Amino acid sequence: MIKKFTALTLATVMTATLAACGSNGAGGNAATNSPNAEGVSAGSSDKIVIKYWYAFGGKAEEAKKHLVKEFNESQDRIEVVAEHQGNYDDLHAKVQAAFAAGNAPAVSDLEIASTGVFARSGMLEELTAFAERDSAELQLEDFNPGLMGNAYVDEKLYGLPFMRSTPILYKNVTMLKEFGLDPEGPKSWDELEQYARVLKEKGKTGMTVPADIWYYEALVAQSGGNMLSDNGKSAAFNTPEGVAPVEYWKKMVGDGLIKIPVGDEAGATADKDWANQLSAFKFGSTAGVNASLEIAKGSGFEMQTSFMPANKDYGVPTGGCQLVITANLSDEEKEAAWTFLKWMTTKENTIYQHKNVGYLPTRLSALESEDLKAHFQEFPQYKVAVDQLEYARPRPMESAYPEVTKIIREAIEKSILDPNTAPQDAMNEAAEKANKLLSK
């Protein structure tokens, strides 16, 4: 799921920040923005301790804790203290509050669509000069271009791709074969409807899917549309391309072919229905491949993945997080944080987190490695998201977009649940509310 903080919360926090921006998250003082060419060896001989705040538990947390442990053991100058802070929404709110109080972590996960809000509010260290100085070591061009769209804000680098994802289709292949359905499909919206009708006759649901903004963004892209205007100042989701997904979902729900749960547990409900073999399909992040394979094995069914079904074409947003450095650190702490970012995003470490969680390999050199080639041969479920990047696009990063996504989701749910609410009317109403926020 894609979770975010609100722009209103950020405004409140930034007001408090004006009175508290003299210190940083690791106990140092505000410093200049220029990288220290002497690196972390300059200054005191004491070990530099920096905090790293991260989101989510499960296999993602296991992988992050493993990588931090490996980093700390790889050298004796820097100690990273990793702290779990909940989901993205929780993490972002806590970073904002900590920044205002002058004790923000030096490094944090940051959900990609939130990069613009944090960067333009002065909460992030710009990384352009660091990347240029260490270009030979960093090899910025080795990062997959399809994952770099949200790393830049106003043409300045603010993050390095870390645990990145796209939504994909998860399939209970055993169920499909049992009911005479081709496990290679469905490849289009029409085919998904056809599959769901067969499954309904057998007492199953085609798919349980929350009205999640990430999935809606994918369906809009598949229809040839955009979420916002080119300049980001007005809504574009109330065009025919943006209304088509809502009409499709409303029809599918009305015909009893899919379920769209609502509320905070909507995503968990969708996962449970799929795990309990009540639904044949689910949309989910590529980050869930490893865990879903274990669920399928434990429940005795075969699981495969494929592209999200197409409408006019395939299309998905990217997601997940990048690693960022917070502003107002001392030069020594900046260098320590930058050293940590470089290490966490190496070819070897992106291979590790991909194989152990499912997040996308962020580096092109990782995809060309014999290690991943052999892994994809044995587990093709992991490669689907990599191939789907051909149709990926970055997420909007307008400051008001987190608030806009909540308005959109409410409109979608209202249209689907209320038989008297037409999708076009619901999205027009949402666009009016969104435009007031986007035009500020």
CB 317 within 8 A of CB 149: no
Question: 323 pairs with which residues across the strands?
Answer: 109, 160
Domain count, the chain: 2
User: What pLDDT, on the 0 to 100 scale, is given for residue 213?
Assistant: 95
- Which tens digit of pLDDT belongs to each residue from 289-303? 999 999 999 999 999
Residues 280 and 374 in one domain: no
The helix (run of H) or strand (run of E) holding residue 304 is strand 303-306
User: What pLDDT, on the 0 to 100 scale, is given for residue 35?
Assistant: 52
Q: Characterize the bridge pairing of strands 316-317 and 392-393.
A: parallel
Q: Is residue 233 part of a domain?
A: yes
Structure tokens at 89: 């929404």
The helix (run of H) or strand (run of E) holding residue 53 is strand 48-54
User: Which of the residues in the chain have pLDDT under 70?
Assistant: 1-45
User: What pLDDT, on the 0 to 100 scale, is given for residue 264?
Assistant: 87
In angstroms, what CA-CA distances link 72 with 105, 213, 297, 339? 17, 37, 35, 11
Q: Number of H helices and number of E strands within the chain?
A: 19, 14
Range of the domain at 140: 7-165+319-386
Q: Is residue 75 part of a domain?
A: yes
Residues 97 and 28 in one domain: yes
CB 112 within 8 A of CB 319: yes
Distance (Å, whole) CA 357 – CA 385: 13
Residues 292 and 415 in one domain: yes
Distance (Å, whole) CA 276 – CA 329: 48
Q: Is residue 301 part of a domain?
A: yes
User: What pLDDT, on the 0 to 100 scale, is given for residue 6?
Assistant: 42
What predicted TM-score, i.e. pTM, was given to this entire model? 0.85
Residues 323 and 281 in one domain: no
Distance (Å, whole) CA 15 – CA 17: 5
CB 409 within 8 A of CB 213: yes
User: What pLDDT, on the 0 to 100 scale, is given for residue 16?
Assistant: 34
Residues 135 and 260 in one domain: no
- Which tens digit of pLDDT belongs to each residue from 338-350? 999 999 999 999 9
**Interhelix angle for 347-356 vs 370-378, to 10°?**
10
Residues 185 and 326 in one domain: no
